[in-house]
């Protein structure tokens, strides 16, 4: 059974791989800019005013090494190279955010699955299989590094979804009818405990955490999630509880 703990552990084993990817990506960006603009920090700074290279330069600029004893003008003649400590800290922050995002995506995917299993995990991809009612489902989730025009390195998350072996779009998958969870045989569960007009209250269990989720339907759907007193659920578990209750109340997790 997939829990928040073993999902996190599955990706934690690939932290060094994700960190290496981050460093390799930035190293390649620096090498490319040096080949085009020159090896010194002054020459490299010209990339900041070049539309096609501004984002890459903005990403690495704050990670370059500098000599504190030299003036700004004289430092521009230094060879552009990374400050290893800065680069390492940036890589650790990126990996932390990436693992959190991966755990959240798996938790989200398993919210309406039974017999869910991670059959393939790496720093750049996971494959999740399970049953949705009588149907077999497979998610192939990739992670691709990219950089924005403002220089922010970010992950893109293309996903291929297969229903009974045939590919289905994310939009069509989200539109599938809601599946009633079998609470007594699953750790994850959703139970309607109160209904008053357009307001429905659900008791939800996600990744071992208990939630009370209130869904108000109407022109605009409003969802309120409250964790059990004294518990400190993960963000991924809270998101899963929210989506599961909303899907049972409205037929859609969005």
Q: Does the structure show a pLDDT above 50 at 213?
A: yes
CA–CA distance, 154 with 69 (Å, rounded to integer): 34
Q: Does the structure show a pLDDT above 80 at 192?
A: yes
Q: Are 211 and 224 in contact (CB under 8 A)?
A: no
Give residue 183's pLDDT band: very low, low, confident or very high (50, 70, 90).
very low
DSSP helix/strand/coil, 191: strand
SS (H, E, C) 60-120: HHCCECCCCCCCHHHHCCCECCECHHHHHHHHHHHHHHHHHHHHHHHHHHHHHCEEEEEEE
For helices 4-12 and 84-109, the axis angle rounded to 10 degrees is 140
- Per the prediction, the chain carries an average pLDDT of 87
Q: Which of 54-63, 178-187, 242-251 has the lowest mean pLDDT?
A: 178-187
Q: Does the structure show a pLDDT above 90 at 73?
A: no
Q: Does the structure show a pLDDT above 90 at 18?
A: yes
Residue 185: per-residue pLDDT: 40
What values do phi and psi take at 122, rounded to 5?
Answer: -145, -175
* Proportion of the chain above pLDDT 70, given as a percent: 93
Strand (E) or helix (H) holding 29: helix 15-37
Q: Are 25 and 59 in contact (CB under 8 A)?
A: no
- The full DSSP string for 39-67 is SBHHHHGGGGG-TTTHHHHHHHHTTB---
Residue 22: per-residue pLDDT: 93
Q: Is 164 left (phi over 0), alpha (psi -120 to 50) or beta?
A: left
Number of Cβ within 10 Å of residue 164's Cβ equals 11
CB neighbour list of residue 117: distance below 8 Å, 6 or more residues apart: 2, 128, 129, 130
| Mean pLDDT, residues 2-14 taken together | 86
More confidently predicted of 125 and 52? 125
Q: Does the structure show a pLDDT above 80 at 179?
A: no
| Mean pLDDT, residues 63-68 taken together | 85
Number of Cβ within 10 Å of residue 21's Cβ equals 19
CA–CA distance, 140 with 158 (Å, rounded to integer): 9
Residue 39: per-residue pLDDT: 93
CA–CA distance, 107 with 113 (Å, rounded to integer): 10
Interstrand relation of 135-142 and 144-147 (parallel, antiparallel or unpaired):
unpaired
More confidently predicted of 173 and 233? 173
DSSP helix/strand/coil, 207: coil
What tens digit of pLDDT does each residue of 105-119 get? 898 888 788 899 998
DSSP helix/strand/coil, 235: helix
More confidently predicted of 120 and 99? 99
CB neighbour list of residue 229: distance below 8 Å, 6 or more residues apart: none
Give residue 151's pLDDT band: very low, low, confident or very high (50, 70, 90).
low
């Amino acid at each position: 059974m997939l829990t928040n703990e073993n999902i996190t552990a599955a990706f934690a084993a690939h932290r060094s791989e994700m960190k290496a990817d981050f460093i390799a990506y930035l190293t390649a960006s620096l090498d490319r800019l040096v080949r085009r603009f020159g090896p010194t920090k002054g020459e490299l700074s010209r990339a900041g005013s070049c539309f096609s290279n501004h984002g890459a330069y903005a990403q690495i600029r704050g990670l370059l090494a500098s000599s504190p004893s030299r003036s700004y003008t004289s430092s521009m003649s230094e060879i552009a190279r990374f400050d290893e400590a800065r680069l390492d800290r940036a890589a650790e922050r990126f990996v932390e955010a990436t693992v959190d995002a991966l755990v959240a995506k798996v938790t989200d995917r398993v919210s309406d699955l039974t017999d869910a299993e991670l059959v393939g995990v790496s720093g750049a991809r996971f494959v999740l299989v399970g049953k949705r009612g009588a149907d077999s489902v497979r998610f192939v989730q990739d992670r691709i590094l990219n950089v924005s025009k403002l220089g922010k390195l970010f992950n893109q998350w293309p996903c291929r979804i297969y229903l009974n072996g045939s590919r289905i779009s994310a939009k069509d998958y989200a539109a599938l009818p809601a599946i009633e969870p079998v609470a007594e045989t699953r750790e994850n569960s959703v139970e309607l405990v109160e209904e008053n007009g357009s307001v429905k209250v659900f008791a939800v269990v996600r990744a071992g955490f208990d939630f009370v989720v209130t869904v108000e339907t109407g022109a605009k759907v409003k969802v309120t999630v409250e964790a059990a007193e004294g518990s400190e659920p993960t963000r991924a578990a809270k998101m899963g509880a929210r989506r599961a209750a909303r899907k049972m109340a409205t037929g859609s997790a969005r």
